[in-house]
Structure 1
Amino acid sequence: MNKRPHEVFVWPLCTRIIHWIIATSFFFSFLTSFQHALFRWHLSFGLIFGVVLLFRLIWGFVGPNYATFKTFKLSYQELQDYFVQKVQNRWRKIYAGHNAASSWFTLIVLGLGSLIVLSGLLLQGTQEASGIFSSLNVRYFGFSSSLLVSHEILSYVLFTWAIIHIIGVLIEQFYHKTNMVFAMLSGYKKAEGTDATVSIIRHLFSYAVIGLSLGMLYFVASSDETFFTKSRFEKRNFQAENSSFYEKCGKCHKIYPPFMLPYDSWVRLMDGLDNHFGEQITENNITKSEQMSIKAYLLSHCAETSTHKIAVKTLESLGDMRPISMSKVPYWREVHQSIEKRVFKSLHVKNASNCFACHPDFEYGIFENTRIHIPK
């Protein structure tokens, strides 16, 4: 017997929570993708999105009535009849479970969402050299551009479908008066059918996934390094690699990793020490043998030798340019264009060349998007 007259209990609380986690995790992952400084949050919400999608896939086979795939209306005729009835009969009776449109939309979310998560993890591994696929960076970095395009296109397509879905729900709510919006809040639909029930085991399974999602959000978003963000690149000991580079260059400024600039840029810089950013470097400062040692080291560890994202992206953006200042690199300007100029002039940063202010462990060659801290 149904608990409410003329209404059916369709969506148990656990199902409703999972539904909103799917929606919000995708939305916030999409929203945070436009800022490099929010990459940690983008990754966190993306991982949650992947976890709940996997749950929903399993739930489609073992979940309660109205949630399983066997109750979906997936034939073309059913889809056609749904839209015909929707146009011709404003006060039609609605099915307790998924109608034909929501059945197909659920499959679209599961399909596109899974591809988005997979492409995102592969992109993180190949381009960022971090996460569960970080080992792919060395051999497959060249595929990262294609993965990025695929990841973005799939995300925009799913976002478009989500907008269409929301419009459809609002039409049901305000035109057909079916209270569809409140169904995912209360769990009840104005429909014909039998109330859904959920066993204790299903409850435990679903709430464990919900707990895992919340725990993952806290774990990944609040930690500098986790299993999901660990980079294959370790801290570099530049003093051990070349003591002259570390000690002589480090006398006047912090050490900049050599893979930041290309071969020809380092040649220009080392051959122009008589005017080194307005300063004259002589043999009294750095001996000829030390200059040769530093130059050889820089050239052997330049951008062309690295699969760091900053190295590859710098080379791609330069064309024929070979600047000796990183702030002149088009890629650098592109990723920093959203940062207000006042940040660069603040007491903490002072100028655009102070990469160390926002990138912890920069002097050790660490460039992790998850570790960017822009001063307020």
Structure 2
Amino acid sequence: MNKRPYEVFVWPLCTRIIHWIIATSFFFSFVTSFHHSLFRWHLAFGLIFGIVLLFRLIWGFIGPNYATFKTFKLSLNALQHYFIEKMTNRWRKIYAGHNAASSWFTLIVLGLGSLIVLSGLILQGIQEASGLLSGLNEHYYRLSPAVFIFHALLSYLLFFWASIHIVGVLIEQFYHKTNMVFAMLTGYKKAEGKDTTISLVRHLFSYAVIVLSLGVLYFVASSNETFFTKSRFEKRDYKSENSAFFEKCGKCHKNYPPFMLPSNSWVRLMDGLDNHFGEKITENNITKSEQNSIKEYLLAHSAETSTHKIAFKTLESLGDMRPISMSKVPYWREAHQTIEKSTFKSLHVKDASNCFACHEDFEYGIFDIARIHIPR
């Protein structure tokens, strides 16, 4: 390579690509977390974030010069000296590798990022009952609110530190004139030192991680179900479980999963069949024995008995309410408040009670956030 005057080649191309994958994967996983319909993208970027963090941790021990942890400046005196010099000497010389601030920031990203990825996988397993840790749902689903808060707080904290880091880089770029913004684009820093070199094995390892990241993005984001998104809940066979429920209720509408409402709501619904959403259900429609069978089945599989997210969230939001319509549940209203009202009146949906229009396989008892498809 041709050495540039007054500059040092610090970051090889593979290192720069990994750096930007770390930054963009966290940013996009953070942004997509605010939209339920983008959960699959949130998961994909989160997995990539975890992969490249693991690479960066390994790279800290086996990487080229300036990338290893042994070159980091981690003493508090070094950190104090960095900020004092930064404020008092605009034209100071900069270190070719990580300065004290970027050394600490790298550890913050690795530490917080690892906890974010781990808590995200646990949350997916507990709350969504899907993914690599879906088995946790059966015994720990009640912990999902606490895990969610932990996961969210860590994400906001890392977003805060990332913002501070960006501000620091911009100060270096425009006040200290160190061209720091371009260092991770060109690989060169305006500093004194020896150009870094990287072996073929390290090159192959880093590019393999890059290809793996792109593969995970395509695999998760474009596939309806992968082992990263597979739910522990199988499709329910209502016909074999309760033929009266399957045949009689399914004659007029698709079967609503029993776990979507609590037992007292099902009691109210079944005891009020003389006014069933404007229709009168008589024994000519459903015999008394069939009504009793359906009622017993609904109570045996109501929200109180389920570890589905919708069951837990519904019970949590109801209080003393016992609605017979899911659209009256506070959790349902909160979850759908960002959806335009016109969507519920569209030809595809027609009514707010038509859960099946957006939730794939909902009539089989599948409630999976990765299967939400809102018609546009």
TM-score range normalised by the length of the shorter chain: over 0.9
Match of 2:103 in 1: 103
- 1:236-291 CA-partner distances (Å, limit 9, x unpaired): 01111101001001111111000000000000000000000000000010000100
Match of 1:19 in 2: 19
1:304 partnered with 2:299: no
Match of 2:159 in 1: 159
1:173 partnered with 2:158: no
1:234 partnered with 2:234: yes
Q: Name the CA distance, whole Å, in 1 between partners of 2:151 and 2:303.
A: 26
- Report 1:1-376 matches (<5 A): 3-376=3-376
Asked if the contact 1:2–1:8 (Cα under 8 Å) also holds between the matched residues in 2, the reply is: no
Q: Name the CA distance, whole Å, in 1 between partners of 2:35 and 2:335.
A: 9
Following superposition, the deviation at residue 3 of structure 1 comes to: 1.2
Asked if the contact 1:2–1:9 (Cα under 8 Å) also holds between the matched residues in 2, the reply is: no
Following superposition, the deviation at residue 375 of structure 1 comes to: 0.3
Q: Aligned partner of 1:80: which letter?
A: Q
- 1:59-114 CA-partner distances (Å, limit 9, x unpaired): 00000000000000000000000001101100000000000000000000000000
User: How large is the Cα RMSD of the aligned pairs?
Assistant: 0.7
Q: Name the CA distance, whole Å, in 2 between partners of 1:231 and 1:186.
A: 44
SS at match of 2:239: helix
Following superposition, the deviation at residue 319 of structure 1 comes to: 0.5
Q: Name the CA distance, whole Å, in 1 between partners of 2:61 and 2:43.
A: 28
Q: Aligned partner of 2:27: which letter?
A: F
Asked if the contact 1:2–1:195 (Cα under 8 Å) also holds between the matched residues in 2, the reply is: no
Q: Aligned partner of 2:234: which letter?
A: E
- 1:274-333 CA-partner distances (Å, limit 9, x unpaired): 000000000010000100000000000000000000001100000100100000001111
Identity %: 81
Q: TM-score, normalised by structure 1?
A: 0.99
Q: Name the CA distance, whole Å, in 2 between partners of 1:26 and 1:44.
A: 11
SS at match of 2:321: coil
Asked if the contact 1:259–1:305 (Cα under 8 Å) also holds between the matched residues in 2, the reply is: yes
Q: Name the CA distance, whole Å, in 2 between partners of 1:167 and 1:32.
A: 23
Following superposition, the deviation at residue 201 of structure 1 comes to: 0.2
Following superposition, the deviation at residue 219 of structure 1 comes to: 0.1
Q: Aligned partner of 1:56: which letter?
A: R
Q: Name the CA distance, whole Å, in 2 between partners of 1:103 and 1:34.
A: 31
Q: TM-score, normalised by structure 2?
A: 0.99
Q: Name the CA distance, whole Å, in 1 between partners of 2:342 and 2:178.
A: 52
Q: Name the CA distance, whole Å, in 2 between partners of 1:198 and 1:366.
A: 50
Q: Name the CA distance, whole Å, in 2 between partners of 1:25 and 1:238.
A: 41
Runs of 4 or more above 4 Å deviation: none
Q: Name the CA distance, whole Å, in 2 between partners of 1:146 and 1:271.
A: 37
Gaps of 5+ in 2: none
Following superposition, the deviation at residue 143 of structure 1 comes to: 1.3
Q: Name the CA distance, whole Å, in 2 between partners of 1:257 and 1:84.
A: 63
Q: Name the CA distance, whole Å, in 2 between partners of 1:324 and 1:211.
A: 50
Q: Name the CA distance, whole Å, in 2 between partners of 1:233 and 1:133.
A: 13
Q: Aligned partner of 1:225: which letter?
A: E
Q: Aligned partner of 2:352: which letter?
A: A
